[in-house]
Amino acid sequence: MQTPDFWSQKPGLKSWLLSPLGAIYAAGTKRRLAKGTPERLPIPVICVGNINAGGTGKTPVCIWLAMELAAMGLKPHIVSRGYGGSLEGPVRVDEQIHSADQVGDEPLLLSAFAPVTVSKDRAAGAKAAITDGAGVIILDDGFQNPALETDFAFIVVDAKVGFGNGFCIPAGPLREPISAGLPRASALLRIGDAETQAMFDTRWGSEINHVTADLPQYHGHLETLQTGMDWDGMPVFAFAGIGRPEKFFKTLRDLGAHLIHTEALADHQPLSDRLMSRLLTDAKNHGAQLVTTEKDAARLPQKYRQKVLTLPVRLQIDDAETLKQSLLSAINP
């Protein structure tokens, strides 16, 4: 689904009218967490979550964690519910066997960086990962799931969007109020450039400090991976089905690409043969190259994969060494 525009705007009539439903949603999240009995595993669990619905940058964080933990000599294994996939699991993701329809697009992408198990039952998925040799679990999008005890929990937020209008679904983008979510976190990881980081501080800084003054905050930003591709002046037809497609389009423009057309799809939208055939035909008619994100590329039908360019990005974190030391202290007390 596309997130409603009013979610990111100053609270107005729609937000206030829907706020009683938002309060019910928040109460449901609180009740589910209170009733859960988190299970303690014999290996550390690092949760990568958010309190916003939609994309905030969790997948790049999981990739960063998988690479850094492996570099530390640990054995990271990602556990995901496999959003958009049909398999109940637990099942180890194999890109040679599975499709995005079966396991979800994000697990397919993540499987290039670490072993990934998808399971609707997070505890069962984590136990399967342990059997598979995991030394540390990266729990993808599990912050509101009470199945497992965590040793370190990230809340990831897009610095430009922040926490939207501050209301809970459907009045706003939040799965729970920040006053309830932030105190349970180990760190807040804000993703965005210097300008959006400053905007975030202006809008949310005092409220965060009021809720939890001691919460460590880290700044990160996404950088394009150097692949040798010269984007400058390239005529491009760009499409993306991620949380905020406009971020992807801006990145292409910043690289110098000439965007002839942009197509914002719904997050995780299936890339049907009809859709891809239309996009490819339109791009050819304009002498342009079809380009998409890594996550969208995981959903491409096989016959289109050689015809669409992918723009990979990687997370860079300011003061990453301090964060890594905090992680090590949490998982090796």
Rounded to two decimals, the pTM is 0.90
Q: Domain count of the chain?
A: 1
* Rounded Cα–Cα distance for residues 310 and 295 (Å): 9
Residue 318 lies in a domain: no
Residue 251 lies in a domain: yes
pLDDT at residue 227 greater than cutoff 90: no
- The per-residue pLDDT for range 31-72, each reduced to its tens digit, is 999 998 899 999 999 999 999 987 778 999 999 999 999 999
What's the pLDDT at 333? Answer: 63
Average pLDDT score, the chain = 93
pLDDT at residue 268 greater than cutoff 90: no
pLDDT at residue 3 greater than cutoff 80: no
Residue 288 lies in a domain: yes
Residue 253 lies in a domain: yes
- The per-residue pLDDT for range 107-139, each reduced to its tens digit, is 999 999 999 999 999 999 999 999 999 999 999
Read off the pLDDT band of 2 (50, 70, 90): low
Length of the chain in terms of residues written: 333
Please give the share of the chain, as a percent, with pLDDT higher than 90. Answer: 81
Phi-psi region of 84 (alpha: psi -120 to 50; beta: other; left: phi over 0): left
* Rounded Cα–Cα distance for residues 103 and 105 (Å): 7
Residue 221 lies in a domain: no
HSE-CB at 134 with a 13 A cutoff on CA atoms is: 27
Residue 71 lies in a domain: no
Can you read off the two tokens belonging to residue 326?
């905090």
Residue 280 lies in a domain: yes
The residue written with tokens 């706003």 in the block is: 172
Helices 320-331 and 58-71: angle between axes, nearest 10 degrees:
70
CB 89 within 8 A of CB 82: yes
* Residue 110: closest CA among 89, 94, 88: 94
**By residue range, what is the domain housing residue 306?**
235-311
Which CATH number do you get for residue 250?
Answer: 3.40.50
